[in-house]
Structure 1
Amino acid sequence: MLASEVAGCTRCRLCETRTQTVFSRGNPLSELLFVGEGPGSEEDLQGEPFVGPAGQLLDRMIAAMGYRRDEVYICNIVKCRPPENRKPQPEEMEACKGWLAAQLELLRPKYIVALGATAIQGLIGTSEGITRLRGKWKMYRGIPVMPTFHPAYLLRQPSAKREVWSDLQEVMARLGKKPPARS
């Protein structure tokens, strides 16, 4: 229902260049939700978040936490692809804010992992950067949020994977999960 409303959205200019909206993927009943910045070109074509190289890395991160990719819920701050994969502009994030709020209100996850600066800024309205925020619990309408680096950043800076793994282990500890044994 909400996804079909979003599909017809014209609240900002991103609707003019999108192929389709990118609402979510995964289990809406999941206790764990990941939120990213916005769809890229692959996501715009397929209509699903995190399907390109960053998405493949995110899937491996999710698996390392002991989940299958469709056991968690994944969405973005904005539901339409910004041109040239640029960062969403403040007015675009503001235009999409109501959709995200409605989505999160329906889902009520126990925990949110905010992937990158745009995700945490869009959720809690801060202007602080991700380097300062990552690894420190924040709150979104009563839901604990763990900010961490975006998988696209990890593709460019693999040395930051250790910090992200530490952040994800904090989330796992709160969920009472241990990482699966590596075979």
Structure 2
Amino acid sequence: MAWKMVEETVHDWERIDRLRALADGIGRCRRCPLSRHRTRAVAGEGPPDARMVLVGEAPGAREDQTGRPFVGPAGRFLDRLLAEQGFRRSDIFLTSCVKCRPPGNRTPHRQELTTCTSTWLLPQLRLIAPAVTVLCGRTAVAALLGGPFRLADHHGTFRRQGDMTYFITYHPAAAMRFAETAAAMQADLALLAARMGR
């Protein structure tokens, strides 16, 4: 019993060290043009053993200033939606497909998505090994599942790819703007909460 606890503790420290090394690498990354426009790269934050990872598109202006994910208006809206379903932000690892803010908040280009996802996001997901990865919005779905997905047809669904389970929903920035999208996202998160035993 004691050896098992020691092994788990060592594994947790190794995971923390590897996530920290990834975050350091993200902070120094110059693999795509987005690095030239950023104030701060946003690696993500949350427990290294989170059961849930939430992936957005890219940092916004506030995230770029602070180096923290989902801290702008969309992040506050997301916090409220999560809390309504019994989720605590402190239990979730929050990150994005690309770690640097695109100029003018444009959608990341395909090559930027591919580079950042393969170099940084997928290694983060493999280390954390969550029970579910929540993909918020069309860009996150395209980056991790590929293919053309209409969110209207696939939101609120689970997808299995390799050893990862993904859950598709809307991005909170879109849900803030459209009442119908907000209602759909609320229903999606209620379904997710039920599935995760909340």
Q: Is the 8 A contact 1:124 1:139 kept in 2?
A: no
- The structure that is helix-richer by fraction is 2
Q: Is the 8 A contact 1:123 1:140 kept in 2?
A: no
Q: Which residue of 2 aligns with 1:127?
A: 148
Q: Which residue of 1 aligns with 2:160?
A: 139
Q: 1:159 aligned to 162, 180, 184, which one?
A: 180
Q: Would the alpha carbon gap of residues 121 and 40 (structure 1) be closer, same or farther in structure 2, given more than 3 Å must change?
A: same
The unaligned stretches of length 5 or more in structure 1 are: 178-183
Q: In 2, Cα distance between the equivalents of 1:52 and 1:39? A: 9
Q: Is the 8 A contact 2:58 2:96 kept in 1?
A: yes
The unaligned stretches of length 5 or more in structure 2 are: 1-20
Normalised by the length of structure 1, the TM-score is 0.92
Q: Is the 8 A contact 1:148 1:164 kept in 2?
A: yes
Structure 1: which amino acid aligns with 2:121?
L
Q: 1:84 aligned to 86, 104, 109, which one?
A: 104
Q: In 1, Cα distance between the equivalents of 2:98 and 2:117? A: 8
Q: In 1, Cα distance between the equivalents of 2:121 and 2:147? A: 16
Q: Which residue of 2 aligns with 1:173?
A: 194
Q: Which residue of 2 aligns with 1:181?
A: none
Q: In 2, Cα distance between the equivalents of 1:20 and 1:42? A: 10
Cα offset, 1:92, TM superposition: 0.3
Give the match's secondary structure for 2:149: coil
Give the match's secondary structure for 1:26: coil
Cα offset, 1:85, TM superposition: 0.4
Paired positions, count: 177
> Are residue 19 (structure 1) and residue 39 (structure 2) matched?
yes
Q: 2:50 aligned to 30, 46, 50, which one?
A: 30
State the Cα RMSD in Å: 1.2
Cα offset, 1:50, TM superposition: 0.7
Residues 17-63 of structure 1 show CA distances to partners (whole Å, capped at 9, x for unaligned) of 11111011222211011100000111000001111100000111121
Cα offset, 1:138, TM superposition: 1.3
